[in-house]
Amino acid sequence: MKSNKIIIAAVLAGFFSVNAMAADLITKEEAKEKGYTSLGVVTTSNEYTAPMDAREELAKLADEKGGKYFVIIAAQEKRKISATAEVFK
């Protein structure tokens, strides 16, 4: 359990280090406060070993879904990184 928290923290830290993307990473609280509309969920293809690559894919998938923002709701690492995010507009 402790290793999952460390992995998730590392993934999130990597997500913040990537430059401009089409969709922006925000917090769940920000989405709620600003009243953004949920467009559904996207999940990475589990092909990446670097957190920033997974974040880039989430941003691309969110953009393709018509979203401007996304919130990471799950992340895991089993030799490769996979993540799931809720998309908002």
The closest of 19, 21, 27 to 73, measured between CA atoms, is 27
How far is the C-alpha of 72 from the C-alpha of 38, rounded, in Å?
13
Positions of E strands within 1-89: 24-25, 38-43, 69-78, 80-88
Q: What is the pTM of this model?
A: 0.73
Quick one: tokens of 53?
Answer: 């690559």
* Residue 45 to residue 89: CA distance in whole angstroms: 23
Domains, the chain, with CATH or none: 20-88 (3.30.1660.10)
d(Cα 23, Cα 66) in Å, to the nearest integer?
9
Residues 10-47 pLDDT 10s? 555 555 544 455 899 999 999 999 999 999 999 998 77
